[in-house]
Every structure is written in structure tokens, then in C-alpha cells.
Chain A
Amino acid sequence: MWAYAVRRAAIGVVLLVAVALVTFVLFFATAANPARLACGKNCSQQQIKVTEKALGYDQPLYVQFGTFMKGLVVGREFPADKEVRERNPELVTDCGPPCLGYSVNVGTTVNSLIVQAAPTTISLAVVALVMWLIGGVLFGILAAVYKGSFIDRGVVGLTLIAYAFPTFFIAVFFLKYVVIKWEILPYPGYVTIADGGVFTWFENLLLPSFTLALVFMAGYVRMTRAFVLESLGEDYIRTAKSKGLRTRPVLFKHALRAALTPLVTMAGLDFATLLGGAIITESVFAYPGLGLLTVQSSSSFDLPTIVGVVLVAAFFVIVLNILVDISYAFIDPRVRLG
């Protein structure tokens, strides 16, 4: 299994380099003038030239990419141009590995921006994941047990409707009605566990996470329902029942087992996507996570930050994909990784 993990990790690294390359080309080759974007709207030709040199945008694209990749592995210093660094030592910013770049707009390294934003996004994603997994599995089992009944149709229909409403509509609805009009919950704003304790942290995460959970839940309900229904017809369920096992262990231990592999696959990928930033939810609730960072950096044309966030998001997707594949060996004893 270790050989498999190492091989997958190696492929993952190659994939990440490819993502970096494509992202780099997409953003820096198609941008009409990256230096102009970094310098701002009121820059003179002269200033743009200076910015271009200081940031290394005057170099050919492959050299820029080389420097970027080198920074990712061993770290680098900013401004990119050596001369500029020597002339103005007070301007030099050190960016340790894995250096993702330097945001001229904010005046700090992309790494520090991402490190600032990541805890918010991770909290949001974890709470949402727990919510939709519990909800999805419970409702899925409920729908399967009462197949064809009013409960089944209600559960499947309602989750589909919740999925079909645009996320930002649900988020705004919660804000304007649940928070402001009916005053059921306080206005959510991100509070760290260190600042407000676990309860305040969770209370503030409740609405944004629930919004996300609503979007994702439908898929899990349908998946759980389908697999539980299928396994309920199997011989081993009949055996378990005839042994005298109660309904609950039969459902949760035996029937649900069949749904575990597809559920883990789906949850892993959805969770990975969320870790890259819940763009819509974060911007409606003004949560300072990776999603909001993307929105801000793309409206201010902050290319280094955008590239950094894309890479971090891709990293999560690739790593979780590998973890999901390895987890099959633990979930399903029939799977042998080789």
C-alpha cells in the first residue's frame, strides 16, 4: 500500500506542477499588461516600466515560471529584480518556501494572505461537511426505509428544491429574514475559537455552513437512499434480521456499509472544493476566507494572489483525491491497492 501511496503522491506532484504551469500561462500570458495591473490605473509609462522590472515581468514567461517554481521549492526574495533589491534593502521582503508570490496591491506575501484566510474557510468547510453528512445520511436512510411513501418523496423533493435555489439567494434569504427580520440568530461574523470560545465560533458558523450544507445535501440523500435500497434486498441483510438484530444496527452497520465507498468519494471531492474557498457564501456573509480573498483579488486584478489561491485550491483537490483512493483499502477489505 505504501508503494501505491508514494506513486500517487508522485503523480500528484506532477499534476500540481501542470496546474501551476497552466494557471501561470492563463493569467500572465493572457493579461494585456501584468505590470500595469499591479501598478494601478494612474501609472505613467515610466512607472509601469519600473514596476515591470521590479516584479520581473520584463523577463520571458518561461523565466518567470522558473523563478516562481524555484520560489515554491526554496523560497525567494521580493522585489524580483536583484538590482532593485540591492538599491533599496529596506524594501526587501523575504518569502520562505513554499513561496506563492508577492501581492503588490496589498503589500505582503501571498502566503501570509492565504494563511490569514485559510482558518475561516477550513472552519466553514468542516462544519458544513459535518452538517450535510449527518443530514444527508439520516434523510437518505429515512427515504430508503419509507420508499415510495410520502416521507420518501418529501425528503427527496425538498432537498432537490433546496439544491436548485441559487446559493446566494439562500444566503441572502437567511440574512434578511432569519437574522434581520425574525431575529432568530445573531448576525454572523467570523470569530476564532481563541477569541470567542467554541460556542461563539460555532454559533457564528451556523448560518453560512447551513447554507453550504443545503446545497450539497441533495446529492448525499439520493446516494445514500439508492445504496441502502440496493443493499436492503441483499441476503446478508436478511441474515442479520433473522439473527434477531434490531432494525437500527441492521440499517447503520450493515446496509449503510454499502454506501460508504461512494459517500467517502463524494464527500472527499466536495470537501476539497470547499477548502479552496466557498466563494458565494463567503462573499454574502462577508467571511474573510479564501473565497472572499479570490473575489477581492480578482476585482483588483491582483494576479499573484489569484494564482496563489488557485494553486492552494488545486493542492487540496489533489491531496484529498489521493486520500480518498487510499481510504478505499480501509473501507472495503476487498480493495487491494497495488
Chain B
Amino acid sequence: MTSPANEVDEIATDEATHHSTGPSTAVVSKSPTRIAMERFRKDKLSMTAFSIVVFFFVAAVLAPILVKTGVLDPFGTNQDLLNEFSLPSGKWGGMSSSHPLGLEPGVGRDALSRVWYGITFSLAMSISATIIAIVLGVVLGIVSGASGGWADTIIGRLIDLTLSFPQTLMLLALSSVLVTFISDKLHVPSGNPSQAVYVVAILGLFGWTGIARLVRGQVLSLREAEFVQAANLMGASRARIYFKEILPNLWAPILVSFTLIMPTFVSAEAALGYLGVSIGPPTPTLGTVLNDSLSYADTDPLYFFVPAVTIMVIVVSFNLLGDGLRDALDPKGNR
């Protein structure tokens, strides 16, 4: 990324070295990225949020490996550890060294393994959906902002149309016809794969409008910039101007959008799990594990709170990370 600020810094450095008597007084130039990084590192709350997010990502990647190697067992039932009411025997939901978060009442599966493995599926689905939403939003936003004219009008109307649909309602209602459509017509294996494809696709297809508007706004000012005019004069193609010249200047809003959209999709997946639209048993997602736990809200509080608190921590830390990134990347910010 070449930005005007960079050039100014370089000139300043040049002058400084010319006029200085020794190399020790040379001014060190800082790129905007570095300034943003420094600002971000100083913000304790954002750094904490960032570490938690990294922790969840590592956990999500590790879970399938741990399940393969048998360290985590999200499917095995431990009926011998349940009492006559099918509730985990012992205090704190059957907490023990081999089952640190206790057991799932009724079936007797290990709660930690269920939640941990659920994180993997929930994050995988919400990340895929976020990527779809971002790609759609960025491409349509750039085209609409940079080309103007009829393309801008059409995309604007498309955004209005998408926003007119009640999202949760569509997610739930469409599942009645689209999941079968996906498995029959698109030849995705029926059952959980189709269900997952449905959730990811619909979240992505309804979630791009905010980014498109944001990107369009940014592009409106970028397209008047000298480097775009220069590329135009040199006869660069539209695709080159859009994606080689303009796109690299948009990474900051895209990054911030990513961290702010993803948690909404984690929540949406949980809601869909409750409504029975997300991946079904025995595969766990945070939504379905939480849904399973609802019937034991009063009899096994630990099992009820663990998945909910996990979702809460993920959503809060992603939001804080997004806010922190936005503050740090904002060139007007002076913290």
C-alpha cells in the first residue's frame, strides 16, 4: 500500500538525513500500519480481546485433532456416571478430572468435548458465511462506488430489496424448502452437509449489505484520488483499477467489518440451532449444544450456563476486537 502519508514521511526522512551531521539524529519514518499497530498494542482491552479471539481460533483448530486422537470424546456416552434421574451424579454436574465441565444429562456425553468441538463447527460456519458476505459486499460496493451510473442504481436497489426481507424469518422459513433443494438439485449430501451449506449460504447472502454500503462510501472518495486517475490515463482495465488499485486501500474497513460481522453470525447460528435449522445431532455446534441444555436449565445449571457463556465470551471479545481495530486504524484517532 502506497499512501500519501508514506511519501511525506520519506521526504521528511530524506531532509533529516541531508541536514543532520551524524546518522544518530536521523528521523525514523513510521508507516500508517505501524502507527495503527502501536496504537492497538497500547489498548489493553483490545489486546485482551485479541488474545481471547486467538485462543478460540487455536481451540477450534485443535479440536478435530484432539477428537481424532481420542483426547476429546464428544460422542461417547458415560451412562454409568449418571444417576437414576439421568442426571450426572456428584456435585457440579458430574465434574471430575476426566470430565472437567461435567457431563451432558440424559446422554452422558462429556460436556467439555461437546462445547469445544461445537466451537469448531460454529466458528467454521460463521467464518465461511462472513467470507461470503465480505466478498459479495466488497465486490458490489467497489463496482457500485467506482462505476456510478446504472450499476450504482441497480446495486443500490438490490441493497434496499435485501434489507426489506426479515432476516431471521427468512432463515427459518426458507429452510423448509431450500435444504431439500440443496441436497436434491445441488447434489450436496443430505443431512448435516446440506444443512450447513444452507446456513452458511443464507447468512452470507443476507449479510453483505452493510459492507457494500461502507465500501461504496470509501470508494466514492478513492476514485477521485490521483493514483486512480493515473491508472485510468495509463489505460488500465476496469478490473485492474477496481481490484489492484482500489481494493488494497480498503483493507482496514474490511478487517473491521470482518470482526464485527462474525460475532453476529455466531449468534445467528445459535438461534438457528434453537429453531432446529442448524447442523443436527450428534454433531455439536454451540447453538445445538445450548439448545440441548435448555431442558436442564434448573436441574443441571452448569451444563446450561457453559455453552451460553462460551457464546457470550466469543461475541463480546470479537466486538471489542472490532472496536479496538476501528479506533486504531482510524487515521483521525489521536489516542
Chain A residues within CB distance 8 Å of chain B = 15-16, 18-19, 22-23, 26-27, 30-32, 160-161, 163-169, 172-173, 176-177, 180-181, 273, 276-277, 279-280, 283, 291, 294-295, 297-299, 301, 303, 306, 309-310, 313-314, 317-318
Contacts and interface: CB of A to CB of B under 8 A. Distances in A.
Given A19-B164, A30-B181, A168 B176 contact: no
Contacts of A310: 165-166, 169-170, 173
19 contacts: A15-B164, A19-B165, A26-B177, A30-B177, A32-B184, A163-B315, A164-B312, A164-B315, A166-B267, A168-B271, A273-B167, A277-B169, A280-B271, A299-B276, A306-B176, A309-B173, A310-B173, A313-B165, A313-B169
A276 B166 contact: yes
Contacts of A32: 177, 180-181, 184
Nearest to A22: B161
A279 B172 contact: yes
Contacts of A22: 161, 165
Given A27-B177, A173-B297, A177-B298, 10 more contacts: A15-B161, A32-B177, A164-B267, A166-B274, A176-B297, A277-B166, A299-B176, A301-B176, A306-B173, A310-B173
B271 A31 contact: no
B308 interface: yes
Interface of B: 157, 160-161, 163-170, 172-178, 180-181, 184, 263, 267, 270-271, 274-276, 287, 290-291, 294, 297-298, 308, 311-313, 315-316, 319-320
Name the 6 nearest CB pairs between A and B, nearest first.
A164-B315, A313-B166, A276-B166, A176-B297, A169-B308, A31-B177
Contacts of B174: 26-27
Nearest to B286: A166
A181 B297 CA distance: 11
A313 B173 CA distance: 13
B175 A314 contact: no
A212 to B, nearest CB: 12
Contacts of A173: 297
Nearest to B267: A166
A268 B247 CA distance: 33
B172 A169 contact: no
B164 A317 contact: yes
Nearest to B165: A314
A30 B178 contact: yes
Contacts of B167: 273
B48 to A, nearest CB: 12
Contact of B308 (A16, A23, A165, A273): A165
Interface SS, B side: helix
Given A30-B181, A160-B316, A306-B176, A283 B166 contact: no
B308 A166 contact: yes
A160 B319 contact: yes
A166 B270 contact: yes
Given A166-B290, A166-B311, A298-B176, A273 B166 contact: yes
B122 to A, nearest CB: 11
A31 to B, nearest CB: 4
Contacts of A167: 271
Contacts of A160: 316, 319-320
Contacts of B168: 279-280
Contacts of A294: 169, 172-173
A298 B172 contact: yes
Given A32-B180, A169-B308, A276-B166, A164 B270 contact: no
Given A161-B312, A298-B173, A168 B294 contact: yes
B312 A165 contact: yes
B173 A317 contact: no
A165 B270 CA distance: 10
Nearest to B176: A298
B166 A298 contact: no
Contacts of B166: 273, 276-277, 310, 313-314, 317
